[in-house]
Amino acid sequence: MARPIRPAGAMVLAPLLALAVGSCGPGAVSTTSPVPTGAPISPTSPPATATATATIAGPAYDNPVYPRDFPDPHVIRVDDTFYAYSTNVSPSHVPVLSSNDLVSWTRVGDAMPVQAQWARKGLGLTWAPGVIELDDGFALYFTARDEDSDRQCIGVAISDSPEGRFENQTDEPLICQAELGGSIDAYPFRDDEQLYLYWKSDGNCCGLDVWLWAQRLSDDGLTLQGNPVQLIQRDQPWERPLIENPAMVEQAGEYYLFYSGNWWEGIDYAVGYAVCESALGPCEKPLDEPIFHASADATGPGGQSLFQDTEGNLWMAYHAWTGIRVGYPRGERSLRLEPVTFEDGAPVMDGPTVDPQPLP
């Protein structure tokens, strides 16, 4: 089991916790036993502290949809099947689940069983994967510890199948802003035919500014084009000490950049958003508070991604700690889902929910 690494200047933000590990945090510190490949996991019942139970007529889902540790989830749909990828949970570098209904999820295995050539081995620091379908396969963007710079950096691996095996074919990272503390939390996005990649410069590792960035990708998703663009930085009290996990979505001609803020292993971790003029910004935050934050039964929600179901409904996948069990080794960041709608140009999400919810 990899030992957590504390970033320089890390702050203890909740008296319930003894905090360790920087930024998104390695899932390898979890004490969860591995789920056998092919084992279906159905949603658990709401915690005992839930105050209401809904009666649903028709198809429903129940958070968490996958109750085991599954941090920083990224969900894609391929035809009628959904695939979810997460930060490493031992023994997998990139755990992957599949589902045909968003209700029951099956552990498929490790999407990237062999670490990149440039990455330091055996640390359990493969974080926050993002996957996108290409014309002739799939690209997986992942974070790992760069051997040369000793920073977390972003690589890309390719596969013919969404289940993997994804393989990195280069001897250096795709993005490695070592002078800014490293680069993490890659998120691919397609706007018409143009591909983009979003990420975070990991300045909180070492007392530097933290920004979210974007840059164009080549059609094959393997190289960057043009220059990187700074989109937003940590500049609101609720976000301290960091922002991370950019997730872009386009809705009715508007671009919405979702992100997580505060401390990943704290009770105040939450989701905010900015509105952007284009996929490359500029972006402005319309609120001075998060749009999606903890409830009594789901603490520290974040690590979000956006995807559409087979009917075109927009969803947010995210993780949250269950109740007060915040932080490793006691807690687990389980996989959860919420529909996303828009009212007067602003995203709307109920929850975090724990009672049964109707499928749209």
- Minimal CA–CA distance to 85: which of 208, 186, 206? 186
Q: Which two tokens stand for residue 359?
A: 């499928």
Is residue 4, in this structure, part of any structural domain at all?
no
Mean pLDDT for 281-290 is 98
Q: Which two tokens stand for residue 82?
A: 């959904």
Tell the residue number behind the tokens 């979210």, with chain if given. Answer: 212
Number of domains in the chain: 1
Residue-wise pLDDT for 73-90, tens only, equals 999 999 999 999 999 998
Is residue 19, in this structure, part of any structural domain at all?
no
Mean pLDDT for 151-175 is 97
Residue-wise pLDDT for 5-39, tens only, equals 323 333 333 333 333 334 455 443 333 333 444 44
- Can you tell me the distance from the alpha carbon of 31 to that of 253, in angstroms, rounded to the nearest whole number? 44
- Can you tell me the distance from the alpha carbon of 30 to that of 222, in angstroms, rounded to the nearest whole number? 32
Is residue 197, in this structure, part of any structural domain at all?
yes
Is residue 6, in this structure, part of any structural domain at all?
no
Query: Using 50, 70 and 90 to split pLDDT, how confident is the model at 55?
Result: low
Is residue 248, in this structure, part of any structural domain at all?
yes
pLDDT at 296: 86
Residue-wise pLDDT for 313-338, tens only, equals 999 999 999 888 899 999 999 999 99
Domain enclosing residue 105, as ranges: 27-358
* Contacts of residue 285, Cβ cutoff 8 Å, sequence gap at least 6: 232, 236, 272, 273, 274, 275
For residue 340, the domain's CATH number is: 2.115.10.20
Q: Is 112 helix (H, G, I), strand (E, B) or coil?
A: coil
Is residue 100, in this structure, part of any structural domain at all?
yes
Is residue 21, in this structure, part of any structural domain at all?
no
Is residue 203, in this structure, part of any structural domain at all?
yes
Residue-wise pLDDT for 289-311, tens only, equals 999 999 988 999 999 999 999 99
